[in-house]
Chain A
Amino acid sequence: MKKFEHLNAKSFSEAGKAIRSYRNARPSAGGTDLVGTMRAGILENNPDAIINLKTIPDSAYIRDEGNAVAIGALTTLDDIDRSELIRKDAKAVGEAARSVASSLIRNAATIGGNICQDVRCWYYRYPDEIGGRLTCLRKGGDLCYAIQGRNQFHSACGGMKSGTHRCTAHCPASTDISAYMQEIRNGNWDAAARIIMQANPMPSLTSRVCPHNCQNVCNQNEYGDSVSIHSVERALGDYIMKNSDRFYVSPEKETGKKVAIIGGGPSGLAAAYNLRKVGHSVTVYEKMPEAGGVLMYGIPEYRLPKHYVRSLVKAIEGMGVEFKLETEVGKDIDLKTIKADSDALLLNTGAWKQPILGLEGEELTVFGLNFLVEVKAFMNRQIDKNVLVVGGGNVAMDVALTAMRLGAHNVTLACLEQRHEMPAIPEEINRALEEGLVMHNGWGLGKVVTDDKGKVIGLDAKRCTSVFDEKGRFNPVYDEEDRHFFPAESIILATGQKVDIDYLGEQFKEKIASARGLVEVDETKATREPGVYAGGDLASGPALAIEAIRDGVIAARSISRELGVKIDRKYKGPRFFKPDVEEIENRVGRTELDTPVAERTLEKEDTVTLSMAEAEKEARRCMSCGCYAVNASDLSPVLVALDAEIRTTDRVIEAETFFSELDASDVLSVGELITEIYVPKMKDYRTGYMKLRWRETIDFAVTSLAYAIKEDEGVIKDARLVAGGVAPIPLRLCEVESFIEGKLMTPELAEEAAELAVATYGHPLKESGYKLQTMKSQLVKALAG
């Protein structure tokens, strides 16, 4: 056991104060759980102090309070078991206490500690001294070992979220991926749409262009292919656009507030959608003839057909957003005028400017982004035979592929990064290589070489020995001696874009610019100028579309809050995760059908969206990474069934609320201590606790059932039924309760009610299905009396 400091508390308030003064102090009651976990070293974060609560006077008692029995938090389970008062007025509590472990444990274990005990999953509890502790999802790791491991003692009614899913954590917009996956596999596409659109109102576009970091870290990678998240997202995105009239609806009422958005790229559109949704009047100023920004002009048609961008813009326009196209702020209209006319202003003008690299002959090169814009405008362009593309990102890949498809004979790409360091999406790199790109990694710009007539004949490059420093910052190191000549008639530089803030005007620019020449914003996307917000590349420098979208969403929330209207995330996703236990073991992902290399063109999208049926299948491969361990406390279902209160140093918490989270620490704040459990007597109720376990003693419940039933001549007047051992929290069977209420209890009805419980709540893992049978028989027994 690791060392810690120790204090015998004299009062709860002293204990709370002491706990707050340490980094990771823990209260100890009987110590039967706490000492065991510390001894086995199962937790990474060992307590640095233990505060003993047993020394607090008058903290262990069982008192008659008229309509209720009050139990001090430090009362041992043995004392509860032996109490006459409990036997008479809170019988089920006594039955549960008596069912815990063995008398050895009950002699020390307290009721307060029992309801705060840590989870008993065998992966979680794997002892450190045998090959090292397992850092599973619930401990802050990535993966739940039980979902695809041994799980006969785990949940039979689904898992619950524990922390942030890996996929969600790696999505810049924090999309709740597993939530929409679950809705999709159940065929609830509208619900899925509502979930995704809270984070990202344009999944039809992002699914086509995003490097999908979510997928790179998906836990299914441990076993086989990742869940093809972007493919499901794309099917969902296309579904949303097909039904855009349902998902992009005009607000019911106007707020009368005016917001101006400068720049109609992904960030501006995301903000416009969110602001308009709640009723603000929104005007988007866009320099180009069409809105969409990089998605419209930068990304080639074969990767993102423009009709998708146009339908999105149209849908947003349909909500009542006004687009002022071909209106360049700073030239056609100045910012002051717009600002004076609006309640809030959002700047999202992106990064479009060519950076000056200072390379000899730079003026003879072509700027990658311009190249793409031109191709987009004319769908053709004179292209030289031998083209050299410089850069390792997605723009470079788009340029290279476009050049090849325009008919260049040889397209070569040179970039600083080694293959694995390249920021481009791996699929895009593969696509380019497939189509004949020759790639040279580890070369930096030397100078442009011309013939005597001044015509470009190639690039003199120098060896780049490393791109990033130890801290991972971009800081290339060159070997000036090691040179290579790349012959080419045209050189396209896709080595980055710059932010242009000149349009802001001198005075304004000075007010809101950052030292890096961007617009400086805080976490709410507010600039230093009141009422002015900024996001996307303009504030962050060149980044991903989804990052710009996130900024737009955040800015919209902040602006709307300032204007007095809250934008909230209404759709929370399902409470219990219900993975498809067969399909999660399918190692092969489904992704879009690709066009054969020979048939790929500039005009037609390369890939075909999964059908909805296929997407539903792929969504079944999502494991719904959550925790599938069951709540181990025998007292917990009883306290919920008896509608008890958990009284703490700070407040009174209903048992049902207290046990609605995985851990007591998710409910209690640091230093908040349980002082008393207050159990209503439930006089007219028949109450009890049933527990099934393998051995008569020591074992935790396989399944258990706490009940409080009020009957009148056989007719159920009221019932509270709570199942233990079947879910991550004590599971109140509300559907069953309302089903039986008002009915005459018969063996048939009991049977029916139990069936209903299984049908409504049951969702076993591979090995935990038998628990539904035992839950059922306990229910039948309890109901039939």
Chain B
Amino acid sequence: MSRNLNLTINGKMYEFTVGDRLGQIPENETLVDTLRDRLGLTGTKRSCGQGACGCCTVIIDGKAVASCLTLTVECEGKKITTIEGLADPVTGELDPIQKAFNEHNAFQCGFCTPGIIMSTKALLDANPNPTEEELKEALSGNYCRCISHYQVIEAVKSII
């Protein structure tokens, strides 16, 4: 019998089985691939695949992690939040962080932005009033090719 794999993603329960058949999650699938290719949650970006850029950041049980280095089969029972899970599911209203990013133009091409927002979200959930040092430390794993970091810091500071 195939092993079950239950994930809660953005508040929704997903029941998978582990295996190689169509529709099953193979053991060697990483979370970023499950999110993007299987569930169509393409807000999470795939980039370096090595934990170095932060574009694939999602929140698992409250911690920001690189989904490219996370095996989906090892997420049994976990609560996963992606960028798609931030806006209010009923009203569609954006999360305050997203709004702040918009207001401060805290992005250019936007490729890194979902990852940065997820890292910010994890930080503020745990520590609503971080110092600038703590903020920088929390975002230090997120890289931006377009040098949006300055606006990012301003955006986040505007809501803390």
Contacts and interface: CB of A to CB of B under 8 A. Distances in A.
A3 interface: yes
Contacts of B70: 31, 35, 108
B141 A105 contact: yes
25 contacts: A3-B28, A5-B27, A6-B18, A6-B71, A8-B74, A28-B74, A30-B69, A32-B51, A36-B50, A36-B51, A38-B28, A40-B49, A52-B71, A55-B76, A102-B140, A102-B142, A104-B51, A104-B64, A104-B142, A105-B51, A105-B66, A107-B65, A108-B63, A108-B66, A108-B70
Nearest to A102: B141
B52 A698 contact: yes
B153 interface: no
Interface in B24-49: 26-28, 30, 49
A316 B64 CA distance: 72
A637 B41 CA distance: 42
Given A31-B69, A698-B52, A39 B30 contact: yes
Contacts of A504: none
A101 B140 CA distance: 9
A78 interface: yes
B86 interface: no
B8 to A, nearest CB: 17
B65 A1 contact: no
Contacts of B142: 102, 104
Given A39-B50, A697-B140, A32 B27 contact: no
Contact of A4 (B27, B51, B138, B140): B27
A30 B75 CA distance: 12
Contacts of B50: 36, 39-40
B97 interface: no
Chain A CB within 10 A, most for which of B18, B64, B69, B137: B69
Chain A CB within 10 A, most for which of B68, B70, B71, B138: B71
Say which size band chain B's interface belongs to. Answer: 20 to 34
A2 interface: yes
Interface string A660-703: 00000000000000000000000000000000000011100000
A54 B63 CA distance: 15
Given A3-B27, A31-B71, A103 B51 contact: no
Contacts of B137: 103, 697
Say which size band chain A's interface belongs to. Answer: 20 to 34
Interface string A85-120: 000000000000000011111011000000000000
A45 to B, nearest CB: 15
Given A52-B73, A103-B140, 16 more contacts: A1-B28, A1-B30, A3-B20, A5-B27, A6-B74, A8-B76, A35-B71, A39-B30, A50-B27, A52-B71, A52-B74, A103-B141, A104-B65, A108-B63, A108-B69, A696-B140
Nearest to B56: A104
B30 A697 contact: no
Given A31-B71, A35-B69, A101-B51, A78 B140 contact: no
Interface string B69-84: 1110110100000000
Interface of B: 18, 20, 26-28, 30, 49-52, 54, 57, 63-66, 68-71, 73-74, 76, 119, 137-138, 140-142
Nearest to A105: B51
Contacts of A101: 51, 141
A30 B64 CA distance: 13
Contacts of A6: 18, 27, 71, 73-74
B64 A103 contact: yes
A103 B63 CA distance: 9
A28 B49 contact: no
Contact of A698 (B76, B119, B140): B140
Nearest to B50: A36
A108 B66 CA distance: 8
Nearest to B61: A107
A107 B61 CA distance: 11
Given A54-B74, A78-B63, A101-B51, A3 B26 contact: yes
A517 B30 CA distance: 61
Interface in A12-55: 28, 30-32, 35-36, 38-40, 50, 52, 54-55
Shortest 6 CB-CB contacts between residues of A and residues of B: A102-B141, A104-B141, A697-B140, A6-B27, A107-B63, A35-B69
A28 B71 contact: yes
Contacts of A28: 71, 74
Contacts of A104: 51, 54, 57, 64-66, 119, 141-142
B70 to A, nearest CB: 6
Chain A CB within 10 A, most for which of B50, B51, B76, B138: B51
B140 A36 contact: no
A105 B64 CA distance: 9
B28 A32 contact: no
A451 B50 CA distance: 82
